[in-house]
Amino acid sequence: MNLTPINVYINNNLEEDKNKIKQFNLFLLDILSSIKLIHWHSDNYNFHKILDDVYNNFNELFDKLSEEIIGVSKNKNIFFNIQCPERNLTSLFDCNCFQDQVNEYYSILDSLESTLKNNDMSLLLNNSVSGINNILEEIFSESNKSKYLINMLKNSNSA
């Protein structure tokens, strides 16, 4: 997994800052696209519905997060550089069975969570007064809820 480094510092180059925020936005869109691809190709109806809910909730939360980060970077003259892993969407084509799809979904969540828990994100939170932390908590909560529901689904399928 390749990482693209991005660091928090006082904003001196507005164009460079915009590009780094856009890189982070592309990462969030990649997460959404990956979830939607698994959702579309799932043969398990309950898993399909769980992913549909996650996609819709993440879509709204990612929008809030992106807007908050853009606002903070402009108003406080601060921006962040997050380590965004590059994902290969074609790996999703190898997910043919329910367990493979679940594993890929968990991998997507791991990538998202590790990126959002990154030290650079913490540095941004410590250097600004914003609602970013609340949005992050909602994202983690949605992630945990989906894992719980999928584990219940896996257990009912194996019973």
Residue with tokens 């894992």: 147
Which pLDDT does position 76 carry in this prediction? Answer: 66
Cβ neighbours of 69 (radius 10 Å): 23
Position 45 scores a pLDDT of 95
pLDDT for position 10: 43
CATH label of the domain that carries residue 94? 1.20.1260
In the prediction, which pLDDT does 150 show?
Answer: 96
> Which class for 159: exposed (0-12), middle (13-18), buried (19 or more C-beta within 10 A)?
exposed
Question: Can you give the pLDDT at residue 6?
Answer: 43
User: Which pTM does this prediction carry?
Assistant: 0.83
Spatial neighbors of 137 by CB under 8 A, at least 6 apart, are: none
Domain count for the chain, please give it: 1
How much is the pLDDT for 71? 83
Range of the domain at 9: 3-158
Tens-digit pLDDT string for the chain (159 aa): 455 544 444 445 556 567 778 888 999 999 999 999 999 999 999 999 999 999 999 999 999 999 988 888 777 666 566 667 676 666 666 777 888 899 999 999 999 999 898 877 777 777 666 788 899 999 999 999 999 999 999 888 775
Query: Exposed e or buried b for every residue in 111-139, given b needs 16+ CB within 10 A?
Result: bbeebbebebbebbbeebebebeebbebb
Check residue 154 and give its pLDDT: 86
